Every structure is written in structure tokens, then in C-alpha cells.
């Protein structure tokens, strides 16, 4: 299910497409690359702890507009509360916004979020644009979720407008289908 054609945004990437790779800093300043989760991934940070644990994982990539907003905090809190379904031997949850890493660190601490919050701050919204979900008028990502398999192919996606929360159960069903 995807929503397309809103003013100020490009069409989201489609199910079956190769997921655009990215390299973003998380809320602790560590570099996270989508390619690191693919089977046989190469090019990890030198000395990165646990990199071999990343290889061959499905990724649930969740874009959200802004930290410290009601709907975003609610969605990310629901993911936190169901974390074993999204962070385990087979799957890694990554949440992305255009907030700075400093904002994300405080937000994660305040909300008790123990999964990576990635900053698409600079170049502003570059990753959200690559996924076709950057709202040029608002300067933030839409509520887009992409389930990406171990080979880097998008297997499921949903994109909602800014005020519309996503259904967490849909993510679980999409992962179960992999």
C-alpha cells in the first residue's frame, strides 16, 4: 500500500525495487549503512563492534517527520514496546528523520528508544528524497516504512501523510511473509 502524487514529493520507490543505499549517523554518532545488513556485506567501519552480526538481516526502515511530536512519539513508542519483533537475529529496525543527531539522542533517551535513530539532517533529507518520501514544502520525511530483505530488495512499503499514524501489525505481517 503506498500513497503517491502529493504536491512537493516524488513517488515512493516501489516494492521489488533495490532499496537505495545510505550512510547516516545514528543518535550516538555512529555511521549506519543499509549495505551493512545485506548478506555478505562489505565495507564496514574499521574497528566497528559487532559488524558481522549485521550481515544478512531484513531491515524495517521507518521514516518519521520529527522527534518530539505526538504521532511520531506514539509510533516509535509502539515499536519500542514490540521491539523483539523488530530487532532480533533476522531483523533490524532503523528509524530515520531529518532531525540532528543531538536532537535524536535526547529524544531516544526521553522516550526509552533502544534502536538506532538515524539523522537525515545533512544534506537535508537526502535519504528521504532517495526513497521518494521527502515533503519539500514541510522540509521533512513523510511517514514511510519500507521492509527490505537481506538482498536489499524492498518487499513491502506503506507511506502515510504527516498526520496519519501507521499500523504496526502491518509491519509484523510483512516480515512474516519474508
Residues marked active site are found at: 72
The set of residues, in sequence order, having a beta carbon less than 8 Å from that of 137 and lying 6+ positions away, is 7, 8
Burial category of 89 from C-beta neighbours within 10 Å (exposed 0-12, middle 13-18, buried 19 and up): exposed
Taken in order 130, 39, 78, 1, the sign of the CA dihedral is: positive
CA separation, residue 101 to residues 3, 116, 123 (Å): 28, 11, 13
Nearest to 1 by CA among 158, 155, 144: 158
DSSP 125-161: THHHHHTT-EETTTTEE-EEEEEE-TTSBEEEEEEE-
Helix (H) or strand (E) holding 58: strand 58-63
Amino acid at each position: 500500500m503506498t500513497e503517491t502524487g502529493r504536491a512537493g514529493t516524488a513517488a515512493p520507490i516501489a516494492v521489488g525495487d533495490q532499496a537505495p543505499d545510505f550512510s547516516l549517523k545514528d543518535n550516538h554518532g555512529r555511521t549506519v549503512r543499509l549495505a551493512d545488513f545485506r548478506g555478505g556485506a562489505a565495507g564496514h567501519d574499521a574497528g566497528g563492534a559487532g559488524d558481522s552480526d549485521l550481515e544478512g538481516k531484513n531491515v524495517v526502515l521507518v521514516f518519521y517527520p520529527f522527534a518530539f511530536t505526538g504521532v511520531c512519539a506514539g509510533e516509535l513508542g509502539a515499536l519500542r514496546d514490540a521491539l523483539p519483533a523488530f530487532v532480533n537475529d533476522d531483523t533490524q529496525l532503523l528509524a530515520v528523520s531529518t532531525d540532528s543527531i543531538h536532537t535524536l539522542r535526547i529524544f531516544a533517551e526521553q522516550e526509552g528508544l533502544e534502536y538506532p535513530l538515524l539523522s537525515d539532517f545533512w544534506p537535508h533529507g537526502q535519504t528521504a528524497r532517495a526513497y521518494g518520501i521527502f515533503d519539500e514544502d514541510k522540509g521533512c520525511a513523510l511517514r514511510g516504512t519500507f521492509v527490505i530483505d537481506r538482498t536489499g530488495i524492498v518487499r513491502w512499503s506503506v507511506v502515510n501523510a504527516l498526520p496519519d499514524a501507521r499500523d504496526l501489525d502491518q509491519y509484523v505481517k510483512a516480515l512474516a511473509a519474508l
